[in-house]
């Protein structure tokens, strides 16, 4: 068991959410081997303890794509966030803005772009999937631009859905899914009341704004199933790069050769990610993949990383391995599902405190000083 705030929030989220949603968040692909390795490998990274270095002043602040971040952390894109708490995307975005870090809105969010951006006083990041429906892609890109989103996070590791068997067991998918989900909702009335599932069809904001009609979970699953696009290549991304004025980040890179292609393509950044172990089970954890990728492209573009980051110590470890900033996924979703905006605010305070402890005891006075010199066991 990993002891951290996020394990407490995870337990609270499990109590509060109907099983189909908890397992959708908590689960990974196939045997969940990669998902487990993400957290285990990161926990196994040993840091050098350093002492007597006058650590009385220390800064977590960092700069990324002309934005100032209070710490090298952003909230990553998580679909269906508004199903884990009422208007969940707005709650999480507000917590991130309060903490001075970016929030990334998923393509498949409950709250549409136009609902979230006015609720916060810093630019939002927007995540886009590669979808067969290019009309939809163009539509959301135009809306994200009009709403003032700063950074585009383009997710490329989902040309096909991962095999997630927990979803079939729990009722998220599989036979009789709709009635199983309904039954679970009735058994979790406080969640259903809060999120609004009992009273009205659950809408997916960005998709319904495009289709011009409400999209309940069923419609969304059907729409997404028809929209995976295996034909995509770097060439297809060119119009998006040319259309988008701000920074463009490619999410889902796990191999140094792909990282080099991203540099050649002209990406401003990459997210080293295996989608939290939700896509191809058996691939490297991001902690294991990061050093070779950093060797290949560090300094050529911004290196973001996610998958398995659960606390402030993990942030320092991932930065020591080569990342410039990390994204949180499940860590903030558990906190949101457990205690809404306040939960995410508390989690971010804890992460900042844990980072300060780790930096004080490794002798790193600033984010720039967190590098490979801090590692005790890089093989
Ligand atoms: C995700 N992730 C994700 N990524 C993305 O680009 N668009 C999306 O809509 C989603 N949706 C999503 C839903 C849920 C429930 C989870 C848990 C994850 C992946 C996410 O951005 C991130 O890569 C992983 O969550 C990182 O792994 P950890 O930190 O959650 O283990």
Contact in structure between 8 and 310 (CB atoms under 8 Å): no
Tokens 């303890």 sit on residue: 49
CA 76–ligand 1 middle distance (angstroms): 7
Three-class DSSP category at 194: helix
Q: Is the dihedral of CA 239, 230, 223, 178 positive or negative?
A: negative
Q: Among candidates 184, 259, 239, 249, which has minimal Cα distance to 217? A: 184
What is the reported pLDDT for 290?
Answer: 98
Q: Is 155 in the pocket of ligand 1 (CB under 6 A)?
A: yes
Q: Measuring from atom 12 of ligand 1, which residue has the nearest CA?
A: 78
CA 307–ligand 1 middle distance (angstroms): 8
Q: Is 94 in the pocket of ligand 1 (CB under 6 A)?
A: no
Contact in structure between 89 and 82 (CB atoms under 8 Å): yes
CA 279–ligand 1 middle distance (angstroms): 10
What is the reported pLDDT for 174?
Answer: 85
- 310 annotated as a binding-site residue: yes
Q: Is 195 in the pocket of ligand 1 (CB under 6 A)?
A: no
Start-to-end CA span in the chain (Å): 25
Give the 3-state secondary structure of 92-103.
Answer: HHHHHHHHCCCE
Three-class DSSP category at 77: coil
Q: Is 171 in the pocket of ligand 1 (CB under 6 A)?
A: no
Q: Is 161 in the pocket of ligand 1 (CB under 6 A)?
A: no
To test ligand 1's pocket by mutation, which of 4, 22, 78, 283 has the most ligand atoms within 8 angstroms of CB? 78
CA 121–ligand 1 middle distance (angstroms): 24
To test ligand 1's pocket by mutation, which of 276, 306, 332 has the most ligand atoms within 8 angstroms of CB? 276
Contact in structure between 370 and 61 (CB atoms under 8 Å): no
Q: Which two tokens stand for residue 1?
A: 């068991």
**Ligand 1 atom with the shortest distance to the CA of 127:** 6
Catalytic residue among 23, 188, 202, 275: 275
Contact in structure between 50 and 377 (CB atoms under 8 Å): no
Q: Is 285 in the pocket of ligand 1 (CB under 6 A)?
A: no
Contact in structure between 77 and 46 (CB atoms under 8 Å): no
pLDDT (tens, 9 = 90+) of the chain, 379 residues, equals 555 778 899 999 999 999 999 999 999 999 999 999 999 999 999 999 999 999 999 999 999 999 999 999 999 999 999 999 999 999 999 999 999 999 999 999 999 999 999 999 999 999 999 889 999 999 999 999 999 999 999 999 999 989 999 999 999 988 899 899 989 999 999 899 899 876 555 688 998 889 888 888 878 878 888 898 999 999 989 999 989 999 999 999 999 999 999 999 999 999 999 999 999 999 999 999 999 999 999 999 999 999 999 999 999 999 999 999 999 999 999 999 999 999 999 999 999 999 999 999 999 999 999 999 999 975 4
Q: Among candidates 304, 301, 302, which has minimal Cα distance to 315? A: 304
Q: Is 251 in the pocket of ligand 1 (CB under 6 A)?
A: yes
Distance CA 29, CA 24 (A): 11
What is the reported pLDDT for 225?
Answer: 83
User: What is the bridge-based pairing of β-strands 302-305 and 325-328?
Assistant: parallel
**Ligand 1 atom with the shortest distance to the CA of 104:** 21
What is the reported pLDDT for 378?
Answer: 56
CA 231–ligand 1 middle distance (angstroms): 22
CA 274–ligand 1 middle distance (angstroms): 9
**Ligand 1 atom with the shortest distance to the CA of 153:** 6
Distance CA 58, CA 174 (A): 51
Q: Is 343 in the pocket of ligand 1 (CB under 6 A)?
A: no
- The distance from CA 301 to its chain's CA centroid, rounded to whole angstroms, is 19
From residue 31, how far is each of 160, 268, 277 by CA, in Å? 18, 34, 10
Active site residue 202: no
């Amino acid at each position: 068991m990993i002891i951290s705030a996020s394990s407490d929030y995870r337990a609270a989220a499990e109590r509060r959410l109907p099983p189909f949603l908890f397992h959708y968040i908590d689960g990974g692909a196939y045997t969940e081997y990669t998902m487990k390795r993400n957290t285990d490998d990161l926990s196994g990274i040993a840091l050098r303890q350093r002492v007597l270095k006058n650590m009385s002043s220390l800064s977590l602040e960092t700069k990324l794509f002309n934005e100032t971040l209070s710490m090298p952390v952003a909230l990553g894109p998580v679909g269906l966030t508004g199903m884990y708490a009422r208007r969940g995307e707005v709650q999480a975005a507000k917590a991130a803005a309060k903490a001075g870090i970016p929030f990334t809105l998923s393509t498949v969010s409950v709250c549409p772009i136009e609902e979230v951006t006015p609720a916060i006083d810093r630019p939002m990041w927007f995540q886009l999937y590669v979808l067969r429906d290019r009309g939809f892609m163009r539509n959301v890109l135009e809306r994200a631009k009009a709403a003032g989103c700063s950074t585009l996070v383009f997710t490329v590791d989902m040309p096909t859905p991962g095999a997630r068997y927990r979803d079939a067991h729990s009722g998220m998918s599989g036979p009789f899914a709709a009635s199983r989900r309904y039954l679970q909702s009735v058994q979790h009335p406080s969640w259903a009341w809060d999120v609004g599932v009992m009273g009205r069809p659950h809408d997916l904001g960005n998709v319904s704004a495009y289709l011009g009609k409400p999209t309940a979970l069923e419609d969304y699953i059907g729409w997404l199933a028809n929209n995976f696009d295996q034909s995509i290549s770097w060439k297809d991304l060119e119009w998006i790069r040319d259309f988008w004025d701000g920074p463009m980040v490619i999410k889902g890179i796990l191999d140094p050769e792909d990282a080099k292609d991203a540099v050649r393509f002209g990406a401003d950044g990459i997210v080293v990610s295996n989608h939290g172990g939700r896509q191809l089970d058996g691939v490297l954890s991001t902690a294991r993949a990061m050093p070779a990728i950093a060797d290949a492209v560090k300094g050529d573009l911004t290196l973001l990383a996610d998958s398995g980051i659960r606390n402030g110590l993990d942030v320092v470890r991932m930065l020591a391995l080569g990342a410039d900033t990390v994204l949180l996924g499940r860590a903030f979703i558990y906190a949101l599902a457990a205690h809404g905006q306040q939960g995410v605010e508390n989690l971010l305070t804890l992460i900042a405190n844990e980072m300060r402890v780790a930096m004080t005891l490794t002798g790193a006075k600033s984010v720039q000083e967190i590098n490979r010199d801090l590692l005790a066991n890089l093989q």
